[in-house]
Amino acid sequence: MSRNYFITGGAGFIGSNYVSRLLERGEKVSIYDNLSRAGAPRNLAWLREKFGDTAFKLTVGDVRDAALLTVASREADVIIHLAAQVAVTTSVVKPREDFEINAQGTFNMLEAARLNDRKPVLLYASTNKVYGGMEDVEVVEDATRWRYADLPLGCPETQPLDFHSPYGCSKGAGDQYVRDYARIYDLPTIVLRQSCIYGPRQFGVEDQGWVAWMIIAAVTGHPLTIYGDGKQIRDVLHVDDLLNAYDASIEKISTMRGQVFNLGGGPDNTMSIWTEFGPLLEKLLGKPVLVKRGDWRPGDQKVFVADIRKAGRDLGWTPRISVKEGVGRLFNWVRENKELF
């Protein structure tokens, strides 16, 4: 029996990939998106070309419009809340807009779900930025990377929250509201704190989606700037692995409601942003990549690696796509679709 999926930000990178997966298996899908991101029209065109104009319902709307959001989602059995302002840098320049989209927009979505007689599942795409700079955690410098001194398996969900930057505050507020609506209103909600997601249909820019951005810049000949020493470590997660976690979360919602999970590549899928990624990218490209150097950017962590053992234990989920395989896939997609950039 198919379910009605309502996906805010459904024309974005993660959203369009999930819409494609859901349609392939016969689910009913509604997309709610304001189409403000440059890649959104391209992703919608791809979905229509692949599945036809009537395969999904589209509402062009903003999560700040509570009334429209409530009406558009009233048939939903499952809500995937992806719509967000996603750049830390933008949040610093436009903190009110960031708050209204991320914090108030998430509140609007929760209220729509609370007032919905179907009591839909609500999955919230949170972020590892809710942990802030983790200044209390010691890091050690190695030849090509930084690493945690005492967290070999990464940052656990029990790490104290520290909403550093307006973006961290707004996403963190949504994170805690979603968690609390499970407790106070018995809504079947789940919070997924995502790390560095990458994959096809990601139109990355310098301050968001760095793996895709660096590949796009290298393939198209755009200038690249590396900020800091290039040894910053991130755990990266391919979008296909992320969507497997979405499916697992929804299937297990009866026992996992109100829970919070870290979702990243974990310690087995880490990469420094240039000292290790650069040689991999140059090998794929077949020539050197010229880069400029810039100072450290505010709030740029030397290390973030998610401890994903809880998701493994409770959701039965683990990443399957290695860094090398996933980066190779994305590189090939960018090269084969240069006209999109």
Return per-residue pLDDT of the chain as tens, 341 residues: 789 999 999 999 999 999 999 999 999 999 999 999 889 999 999 999 999 999 999 999 999 999 999 999 999 999 999 999 998 889 999 999 999 999 999 999 999 999 999 999 999 999 999 999 899 999 999 999 999 999 999 999 999 999 988 999 999 999 999 999 999 999 999 999 999 999 999 998 877 889 999 999 999 998 899 999 999 999 999 999 999 999 999 999 999 999 999 999 999 999 999 999 999 999 999 999 989 999 998 778 899 999 999 999 999 999 999 999 999 999 999 999 999 88
Q: Give the phi and the psi of residue 226 in degrees, each rounded to 5.
A: -100, 120
For residue 81, the SS3 value is strand
Can you tell me the distance from the alpha carbon of 236 to that of 260, in angstroms, rounded to the nearest whole number? Answer: 19
Q: Known catalytic residues?
A: 167
- β-strand 260-263 against 270-272: which pairing, if any? unpaired
Can you tell me the distance from the alpha carbon of 256 to that of 260, in angstroms, rounded to the nearest whole number? Answer: 9
**DSSP tally for the chain: helices H, then strands E:** 13, 16
Among 336, 339, 308, which residue's Cα sits nearest to residue 157? 308
How is the chain split into domains, by residue range?
4-340
For the domain covering 4-340, report its CATH number. 3.40.50.720
